[in-house]
Amino acid sequence: MFRELLQGLPGRLPSQCAVCHAWPAQPVCDACVEQFAQPQPRCATCALPVPAGIRQCIACVRHPPVLDACVAAVPYAYPWSRLVAEFKFREQAGWARSLALLMRSTPWVEPALEAADLVLPMPLAEARLRERGFNQALLLCRQLAPAKTHARLLLRLRDTVPQATLSRSARQHNLHDAFAVEPLEADRVRGRRVVLVDDVMTSGASLHHAATALRTAGASHLTALVLARAELPPADD
């Protein structure tokens, strides 16, 4: 029976670190966090890496985004890209607590959560929610700020083609009118400071469109908080 249990595990024992396989440990041990999650200078409004002392990247200076701030905990690279995939696609919902703790330890995250009136997860398409069984962004929200989390305030109005299959310009078109604030709850957003949470930010198209819906509803300040940020925006085809 023990052998069958081992064969069903994704290459590690439950008490092992998912990165270095040290054990006993949390899903990611302190040594791997120390090695792979060092803070780095990032653009204040899109979270792309920038040289030390620079507040915003050139793209955000030229075209100010709808977000007032954007914070990422780690780069979407080894080992985090693999761990995010396991978290979402291999039923590792229990990792949310440790991943949220990693996010909370990132500079500027704690002040953003303290100042927020609302903490909202990026909504998941219904088909993906049925397939996966949970919204990973909602799990992170409930660990980050349970009292401020509202699961159904920001809505996804329609399913869209997976963003990973599209060029950067096609991503923007794909998400047009995909998000809206629940009409019966719109007063909760007006004049409020909102933190929008997601697991991964690549081009930023999804967060941009969701933030636009919140701004249209009257949100006074918008911060995006993501676990992992792709280091370079994907190029157009």
Domains of the chain: 1-36 (no CATH), 39-229 (3.40.50)
Phi, psi of 35 (to 5 degrees): -80, -40
> Bigger pLDDT: 58 or 169?
58
Residues 20-29 have a mean pLDDT of 76
H or E element at residue 139: helix 136-144
Mean pLDDT of the chain, nearest integer: 86
Alpha-carbon distance of 18 to 82, in angstroms, equals 9
Partner residues linked to 69 by β-bridges: 223
Q: Does residue 10 surpass a pLDDT of 80?
A: no
pTM: 0.84
At residue 42, the 3 state secondary structure works out as strand
Q: Bigger pLDDT: 168 or 140? A: 140
Sheet strand arrangement including 221-229? 69-75, 221-229, 193-201, 118-121
Q: Is the pLDDT of residue 26 over 60?
A: yes
Q: Binning pLDDT at 50, 70 and 90, where does residue 38 land?
A: very high
Average pLDDT (8-17) is 55
* Lowest-confidence pick of 2-6, 114-118, 205-209: 2-6
- pLDDT score of 24 more than 80: no
Q: What is the pLDDT of residue 178?
A: 86
pLDDT in tens, 147-157: 999 999 999 98
> 225 pLDDT exceeds 90?
yes
With cut-offs at 50, 70 and 90, classify the pLDDT of residue 105.
very high
pLDDT reported for residue 161: 52
For residue 92, what pLDDT is reported?
A: 86
pLDDT tens-digit series, residues 160-187? 655 455 555 555 555 667 899 999 999 9
CB 186 within 8 A of CB 215: no
* Band (201; pLDDT cuts 50, 70, 90): very high
Backbone dihedral angles phi then psi of residue 144, each to the nearest 5 degrees: -75, -45
Report pLDDT for 163: 47
In this predicted structure, the answer to whether residue 129 has a pLDDT above a threshold of 90 is no
